């Protein structure tokens, strides 16, 4: 390994790593100082000069010239006869500075120095990543997708730092390819085994909150406050907002003219439905608003058990519950109350249209029942299970489940 190869190797490392010049010089000096320490134990009489522009490294050994035969410490002193071989006009008492060729350390020592340098650079980079991002938790960053794996995505920021977006922090409808721009928040910094990883998230409530701050000036200015956000990423979110200025409608401010503000957020979240409601300290009113788009009737609260019984018109029940129960689940998380909904009916003969069971009963089964003249729940329950099976060709197990679902609605 000749000198040029060594210089190119170290200079190349300097170019590839995002480390400032002064830090690189300090690191290189430490590496060669350690190398000299192993060879000579004492490095006080050695100067290490590094040209950051050229990537050049020079090591000088400084010794005082003494009379021949009076050398006591070869690291600090040199005889006159040996000094005159280097320059003819040297005299006793002068200082001799002799350049140490890097090649003279030997291939193994140089290789160890390279490994040591790489380790020090990695350590510095890890510290820099922590310093850069530890104060940016819950802030939005924009990066470029560099690699896509099954469980995570590698994202590079503007400085080439590696950020990780795990699959469980991606919106289910997210799809990224190399080169795509991705926007997310800094969720946390994992530092396992001295290897820090910046973890991003697009599923947290904080990400949605930051998006609102970017899109809604009134929130950024503090005129409108987000009191709470709950969301099922990619499906639905509920946001409770409050205005500190009576002249500002917080919901209108978040939605924007013809939905101009909310549409950008919805697109970023892969068409996630977002319900924005006016926050209030009145729990009954808050629950009523949280169950939007359903229109509620009487609400009975139990403050001790944190339970709420909500009575609705029959045609509003399915709206309150939502697909797969998502609307009522998010309303409960937003208000902090366990919510039960009941049909508010006075007539015991009241019936329920089969279409209201679309979330629990497959549409083809409802069509089968309608084909035999059963459009309501009670019209189906008026038949025996055998009659239902014979007239619709439904399997016995399917009929059992069907009857069970319908009966529960009248219990």
On whether both 298 and 382 belong to a single domain, the answer is no
Residue with tokens 């721009």: 181
On whether both 120 and 16 belong to a single domain, the answer is yes
Q: 3-class secondary structure for 153-208?
A: EEEECCCCCEEEEEHHHCCCCCCCCCCCEEEEEEEEEEEECCEEEEEEECCCHHHH
Q: What is the pLDDT of residues 197-216, one digit of tens each?
A: 899 999 999 999 999 999 99
In this prediction, residue 107 carries a pLDDT of 77
Give percent of the chain above pLDDT 90. 42
Tell me what the pLDDT averaged over the chain comes to. Answer: 86
Rg of the chain in Å (alpha carbons): 37
| Structure token pair of residue 111 | 């290789």
On whether both 122 and 149 belong to a single domain, the answer is no
Task: Tell whether omega for the bond before 293 is within 30 degrees of 0, i.e. cis.
Answer: yes
CA distance 153 to 170: 9
In this prediction, residue 411 carries a pLDDT of 66
Residue with tokens 């920021």: 157
Q: What is the pLDDT of residues 68-126, one digit of tens each?
A: 888 888 888 888 888 888 888 888 888 888 888 777 777 787 777 777 777 777 777 77
On whether both 115 and 11 belong to a single domain, the answer is yes
Burial of 374 per CB tally in 10 Å (0-12, 13-18, 19+):
buried
Query: Among the three residues 130, 159, 184, which one is the final residue of a domain in this structure?
Result: 130
Give percent of the chain above pLDDT 70. 92
In this prediction, residue 52 carries a pLDDT of 60
On whether both 46 and 152 belong to a single domain, the answer is no
On whether both 10 and 105 belong to a single domain, the answer is yes
On whether both 187 and 151 belong to a single domain, the answer is yes
Confidence band for 47, pLDDT divided at 50, 70 and 90: confident
Mean pLDDT of the 43-47 span: 85
Contact call for residues 243 and 250 (beta carbons, < 8 A): yes
- The pairing of strands 181-192 and 162-166 is unpaired
In this prediction, residue 88 carries a pLDDT of 84
User: What range does the domain containing 380 cover?
Assistant: 354-408
> Is 391 within the bounds of a domain?
yes
CA distance 250 to 241: 6
Overall domain count for the chain: 4
CA distances, 257 to each of 216, 238, 253, 324 (Å)? 11, 20, 8, 32
On whether both 86 and 165 belong to a single domain, the answer is no
What pTM value is reported for the model? 0.66
- DSSP letter for each residue of 105-131: G-HHHHHHHHHHHHHHHHHHHHHHHHH
Contact call for residues 237 and 230 (beta carbons, < 8 A): yes
Is pLDDT above 50 for 44? yes
Query: Which of 35-39, 198-202, 250-254, 305-309 is predicted least confidently?
Result: 35-39
> Is 168 within the bounds of a domain?
yes
Phi/psi at 154 (5° precision): -95, 125
Confidence band for 49, pLDDT divided at 50, 70 and 90: confident
Closest CA to 182 of 152, 216, 209, 217: 152
In this prediction, residue 8 carries a pLDDT of 53
Is pLDDT above 80 for 3? no
Query: Among the three residues 161, 180, 203, which one is the final residue of a domain in this structure?
Result: 203
> Is 269 within the bounds of a domain?
no
Phi/psi at 177 (5° precision): -125, 165
Q: What is the pLDDT of residues 226-272, one digit of tens each?
A: 999 999 999 999 999 999 888 999 999 999 999 999 999 999 999 99
Closest CA to 157 of 138, 144, 146: 144
Contacts of 25 by beta carbon, 8 Å cutoff, 6+ apart: 50, 52
Query: Among the three residues 153, 170, 203, which one is the final residue of a domain in this structure?
Result: 203
List the CATH number of the domain containing 165.
2.40.50.140
CA distance 317 to 352: 11
On whether both 33 and 95 belong to a single domain, the answer is yes
On whether both 340 and 358 belong to a single domain, the answer is no
> Is 225 within the bounds of a domain?
no
Q: 3-class secondary structure for 340-357?
A: EEEECCCCCCCCCEHHHH
Query: Which DSSP category does 258 fall into?
Result: G
Q: What is the pLDDT of residues 366-377, one digit of tens each?
A: 998 988 888 888
Q: Half-sphere exposure of residue 61, counting CA atoms within 13 Å on the CB side?
A: 15
The alpha carbon of residue 9 and the mean position of all alpha carbons in its chain are separated, in whole angstroms, by 36
């Amino acid at each position: 390994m000749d000198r040029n190869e060594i210089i190119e190797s170290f200079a190349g490392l300097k170019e590839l790593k995002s480390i400032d010049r002064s830090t690189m010089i300090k690191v290189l000096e430490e590496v060669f100082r350690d190398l000299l320490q192993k060879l000579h134990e004492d490095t006080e009489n050695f100067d290490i000069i590094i040209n950051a522009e050229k990537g050049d490294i020079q090591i000088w050994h400084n010794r005082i010239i003494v009379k021949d035969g009076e050398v006591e410490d070869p690291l600090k002193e040199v005889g006159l006869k040996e000094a005159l071989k280097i320059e003819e006009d040297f005299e006793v008492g002068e200082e001799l500075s002799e350049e140490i060729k890097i090649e003279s350390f030997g291939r193994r020592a140089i290789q160890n120095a390279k490994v040591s340098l790489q380790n020090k650079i990695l350590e510095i980079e890890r510290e820099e990543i922590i310093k850069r991002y530890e104060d940016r938790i819950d802030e939005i960053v924009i990066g470029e997708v560099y690699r896509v794996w099954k469980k995570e995505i590698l994202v590079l920021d503007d400085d080439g730092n590696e950020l990780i977006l795990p699959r469980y922090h991606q919106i289910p409808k997210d799809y990224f390819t190399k080169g795509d721009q991705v926007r997310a928040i800094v969720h946390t910094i994992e530092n396992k085994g001295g290897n820090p990883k910046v973890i991003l998230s697009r599923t947290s409530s904080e990400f949605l909150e930051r998006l609102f701050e970017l899109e809604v000036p009134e929130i950024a200015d503090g005129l409108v406050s987000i009191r709470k956000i709950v969301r099922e990423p990619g499906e639905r979110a509920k946001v409770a907002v409050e205005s500190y200025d009576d002249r500002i409608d917080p919901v209108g401010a978040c939605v924007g003219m013809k939905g101009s503000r909310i549409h950008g957020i919805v697109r970023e979240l892969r068409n996630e439905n977002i319900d924005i409601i006016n926050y209030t300290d009145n729990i009954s009113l808050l629950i009523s608003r949280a169950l939007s788009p359903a229109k509620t009737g009487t609400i009975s609260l139990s403050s001790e058990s944190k339970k709420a019984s909500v009575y609705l018109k029959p045609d509003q029940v399915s709206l309150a519950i939502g697909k797969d129960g998502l609307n009522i689940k998010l309303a409960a998380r937003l208000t902090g109350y366990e919510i039960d909904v009941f049909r508010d009916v006075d007539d015991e003969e009241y019936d329920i249209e089969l279409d209201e069971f679309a979330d629990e009963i497959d549409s083809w089964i409802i069509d089968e029942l309608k084909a035999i003249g059963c459009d309501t729940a009670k019209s189906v329950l008026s038949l025996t299970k055998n009659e239902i099976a014979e007239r619709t060709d439904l399997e016995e197990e399917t009929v059992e489940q069907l009857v069970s679902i319908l009966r529960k609605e009248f219990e």
